[in-house]
Chains A and B, each alone.
Chain A
Amino acid sequence: METDIHEEIIIADPTPLQETWFHLKKNKAAMVGLGIITIFVLMAIFAPLISPYDPNAQVIDDRKTPMFTDGYIFGTDDLGRDMLSRLIYGARISMTIGVVSVGISLVFGILIGVTSAYFGGLYDKIVMRLIDIMLAFPYILLTIVIVSLLGPSLLNAMIAIGISQIPRYARVVRASVLAEKEADYVLAERALGARDTELMFLTILPNCLSPTIVQATLGVGEAILSSAGLSFLGLGAQPPTPEWGLMIASSKEFITNAWWIVTLPGIAILLAVLGFNLFGDGLRDILDPKMRN
């Protein structure tokens, strides 16, 4: 015999994504962060269209032009290159650094974190010890070692930063998975016949993404800073790449007589990292307590 069909009227709830957005909009700081990020991302994408000049074009006569002079909004550097154009293309590079580095850390961090939490045992113990060792290394030292092995270049700097952050992501993911894997719904899907791979990546992982996403957002800011640091040491981007950190490094001596050459890239780094931090913090506030329903 058929049971009654219940026609309860349920207010159409928003999807989890819409709900996150709704809460996010209320956080002013996070919205500011998002705004800053959007500006940089757009700069990165449309760099060729919005740059007034070629970032590598050297105009000897216009060297060290101050800001707002002779058609150079942000002035020129010691080789006569337009600062604004270099900053805009720098945004493209910084965004790429963020994506590539965090991407590497995420992919391997998730793989390691999920598998060690899920399978446990000796594998987990070994992996965790390795991670502990990696985390014990001073971060800068680790990246320097990796770059030295691979050779100094921007791409290798991105890879080095990515690799050195894997342990952190692995830990975050592992902790999340450990908590979720005992949940009833995981057991239920196993009872339906789901295999380990499906359980790990399609069942458990999607429910562990919140802390990982927060980590990744903050990680972009950190990657940009790290890259700047490496460039300063000559291990990252090589001249004439318009990478912000490199721009600062190669113009240290102009701090007194042409301060804008050193300071503007610094401000760019500051704003970019700030944007990601504000947004990441806002995400964390929302994703952690409220989403626990």
Chain B
Amino acid sequence: METVKQETLLEIDNLNFSFKTQRGLVRAVRDLSITIKKGETLTLVGESGCGKSVTAHSINQLNPMPPGRVDSGRILFNGTDLLQLKKGEIEKMRGTQISMIFQEPMTALNPVFTVGSQIADVFMTHQGMSKDEAMARAVELFHLVKIPAPERRIHAYPHQLSGGMRQRAMIAMALASPEPGLMIADEPTTALDVTIQAQILDLLGDLKQQVEMSILLITHDMGVVAEMADRVVVMYAGRKVEESDVNSIFNDPRHPYTLGLLNSLPSNPKYKHAKRLEAITGTVPDLLTIGDGCPFANRCAYATDICRSSFPSMSEINKDHSVWCHNHESVKREKAQ
């Protein structure tokens, strides 16, 4: 079902983020612009080092800021530039309008407090509820995320819960905010077993319908993208290389990297009787030595001279689908499936 509201909730405007290391400057995110509308699930997909996590962490200022710094850009949330907020102000945002769930719930939950009290804490601190009211709300939320026997479970400590339960508890915590704002889900199912992952994705899908919130989903798993995404942004070496609605990414990929990524999946139906996979050759370039050309050029089957010298500007395939590639026309002729 199409989302009716088209208002923009989050706008990342030309973000440039880098890290100062002893070996030099690492430009983790370059010229990145992303918009997320209300009620939309946007997926940032890419492999290690593509900058997706750094981008997500820039939103609520969770990147370690001495080695990291924002070189330029704005992140507008309902009109406010989050990058300009002071520490106290951003802390108020986190847990109220912007919530985050992490890959490893064990490290995100405080081990010395019960899960119930951690959720109740959010209510008591940010919404001024009493302890009893807050715990009652916590039980409600546990119900919402389908944790069985919620009245008992709110008194459990994180280590007493299974991985799947912990992840549900974390989602419950993320939903504790009063206004449905933005949920940032950073690889939420990567550390889970596949049967549990299926349950969590199912849950997130249900919640999407019930609670009107936008989700920024970070993942490297195309299966998760296929399940959850409304729109997809493909990142490579700190840059956005393709952006479209989820159907186009799978059925009509235009960037050689997107195509290569889809071809790397053993689950791709084309490999039903195949002996080998069509792998992308080479490895991700060292972010320290990257120049101004397209970072994918050294691995790209379609690369031409211009690719090595300049990063492509945007080419609009249609209003929902854009790609950053000098040779995307050549890619069009080849299909992933």
Binding site for B on A (CB under 8 A): 4, 6, 8-11, 22
Q: Are A8 and B22 in contact (CB under 8 A)?
A: no
Residues in chain B near residue A4, CB distance under 8 A:
281
The answer, among B22, B23, B282, B289, for a CB contact under 8 Å with A6, is B282
B6 interfacial contact with A, CB 8 Å: no
Docked complex Cα distance between A4 and B282 (Å): 9
Q: Is the CB of B286 within 8 A of A6?
A: no
Give the docked Cα–Cα distance between A88 and B289 (Å).
52
A11 touches B286 (CB 8 A): yes
CB pair A8–B288 under 8 Å, yes or no, is no
Bound form: Cα–Cα A8–B282 in Å: 7
Residues in A neighbouring B288, C-beta threshold 8 A: 11
B283→A11 contact, CB < 8 A: no
In the bound complex, CA of A8 to CA of B299 (Å): 11
Q: How far apart are the CA atoms of A4 and B281 in the complex, in Å? A: 8
Contact with A along B253-290 (1 / 0, CB 8 A): 00000000000000000000000000001110010110
Q: List 14 A-B contacts (CB under 8 A).
A: A4-B281, A6-B281, A6-B282, A6-B283, A8-B282, A8-B283, A9-B286, A9-B289, A10-B286, A11-B23, A11-B286, A11-B288, A11-B289, A22-B22
- Which 6 A-B residue pairs are closest in the complex by CB-CB distance? A4-B281, A8-B283, A6-B282, A11-B288, A11-B286, A11-B23
| Identity of the chain B residue whose Cβ is nearest the Cβ of A290 in the assembled complex | B22
Q: How far is the CA of A6 from the CA of B282 in the complex (A)?
A: 6
Majority SS of interface residues in chain A? loop
Query: B11-32: which residues lie under 8 A (CB-CB) from chain A?
Result: 22-23
Q: What's the Cα separation between A9 and B289 when bound, in Å?
A: 9
Residues of A within 8 A of B281 (CB): 4, 6
Bound-complex Cα distance A10 to B288 (A): 10
Contacts of B22 in A (CB 8 A): 22
- Chain B residues with Cβ below 8 Å from A11 are 23, 286, 288-289
Q: Which residues of B contact A9 (CB under 8 A)?
A: 286, 289
Q: How far is the CA of A127 from the CA of B22 in the complex (A)?
A: 44
A22 partner residues in chain B, CB cutoff 8 A: 22
User: Told that A4-B281, A11-B288, A11-B289 touch, could you supply 11 new A-B pairs with CB distance under 8 A?
Assistant: A6-B281, A6-B282, A6-B283, A8-B282, A8-B283, A9-B286, A9-B289, A10-B286, A11-B23, A11-B286, A22-B22
Determine how close the nearest CB of chain B comes to the CB of A26; give it in whole angstroms.
9
Interface of chain B residues 270 through 325 with chain A (CB within 8 A):
281-283, 286, 288-289
Residues of A within 8 Å of B289, CB to CB, are 9, 11
Give the distance in Å from the alpha carbon of A178 to the alpha carbon of B283 in the complex.
35
Give bound CA distance, A6 to B299, whole Å: 11
A268, chain B: closest CB distance, angstroms: 37
**Closest Cβ of chain B: how far from A274's Cβ, in Å?**
29
B75 to chain A, nearest CB (A): 31
Q: How far is the CB of B260 from chain A (nearest CB, A)?
A: 15
CA gap between A4 and B286 in the complex, in Å: 19
Cα of A8 to Cα of B286 in the assembled complex, Å: 9
Q: In the assembled complex, which residues on chain B have CB atoms less than 8 Å from the CB atom of A6?
A: 281-283
Q: How far is the CA of A13 from the CA of B100 in the complex (A)?
A: 36
Query: In whole angstroms, what is the CA distance A164 to B281 when docked?
Result: 59
